[in-house]
């Protein structure tokens, strides 16, 4: 994840149009994260976050994909319970 200050974005707003990974915006005076910006074009963050389960995840909605990946990981670790 890239990190930039608020001033850097004000100087070069075009950097937001060419994002290919998440961007964390930092307030350097307060030394805290103000926002996280995710790219919307072409790249699905779900595939990146799914890790080794990316081929088994069937949803493009982030919350559903996270839950599905967690279930797969728990099944692998503890076995399938019915």
- How confident is the model over 61-78, as pLDDT tens digits? 777 877 888 888 888 888
Three-state SS at 16: helix
Structural domains of the chain, count: 2
List the domain range (segments joined by +) for residue 11.
2-37
Gyration radius of the chain over CA positions: 17
Question: Do 29 and 56 belong to one domain?
Answer: no
Are 4 and 11 spatial neighbours (Cβ–Cβ below 8 Å)?
no
Question: Do 10 and 30 belong to one domain?
Answer: yes
Residue-wise pLDDT tens digits, 6-43: 888 888 888 877 777 888 999 988 889 999 988 776 55
């Amino acid at each position: 994840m890239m990190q930039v200050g608020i001033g850097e974005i004000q100087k070069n707003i075009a950097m937001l149009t060419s994002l290919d990974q998440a961007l964390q915006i930092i307030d350097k005076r307060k030394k805290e994260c103000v926002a996280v910006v995710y790219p919307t074009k072409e790249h699905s963050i779900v595939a990146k976050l799914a890790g080794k389960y990316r081929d088994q995840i069937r949803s493009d909605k982030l919350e559903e994909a996270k839950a599905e990946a967690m279930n797969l990981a728990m099944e692998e670790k503890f076995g399938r319970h019915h």
